[in-house]
Amino acid sequence: MAHVLDHVGAAIVEAIKAADTEVGKRVGQRRFFPQSKSVRADAIVFAGEEDVEAISQAPVTYDRTVAVSIVGRFKGGAADVETRAYRFQIEIEEVMASSMDLGGLAQAVFLRRSSTSTDGSGASALLYRTIEYAVIVSTRDGYPETAI
């Protein structure tokens, strides 16, 4: 059985893939970008921190606020690298706005923050654009794999 966090990541990947966007062709659910040249993923989705709050006692029900990161990777050195990174963010925000309950899985989805980082320099440099969402999912005590 998969934890509800895995379900959240999978639902976001599916929403991105279903959209008619460039990033939808190159997204995967994983924490790290693959090193193999045979696996191409220019965007990754993963669940990070989770805050849990008990919202009822009989039965115990939790609201889980999950920090989900969607990270795009862009080769540096190109004059338009920042433009491509911002286009990536536009595509992600449009997809997420049209999938605010992730097919009934989530109670709510909110944009939390975005940031840019770099690795290396020159033509081999990489630019990463990270977009973080707060996803609220409810579960019952003892059933972390099932959203309610």
- pLDDT, residue 38, reads 47
- Whole-model pTM: value is 0.89
Taking only the tens place, the pLDDT of each residue in 89-135 is 999 999 999 988 999 999 999 999 999 998 877 777 888 999 999 99
Asked if residue 146 is part of any domain, the answer here is no
Asked if residue 117 is part of any domain, the answer here is yes
CATH code at position 121:
3.30.70.1700
Asked if residue 51 is part of any domain, the answer here is yes
Domains: count for the chain? 1
Integer Cα distance of 138 and 63 in angstroms: 4
Asked if residue 64 is part of any domain, the answer here is yes
* E strand segments, 3-147: 27-29, 43-57, 60-75, 108-119, 126-140
Asked if residue 148 is part of any domain, the answer here is no
Taking only the tens place, the pLDDT of each residue in 57-67 is 989 999 999 99
Integer Cα distance of 131 and 100 in angstroms: 15
- pLDDT, residue 147, reads 94
Asked if residue 10 is part of any domain, the answer here is yes
Domain encompassing residue 82: 4-30+41-140
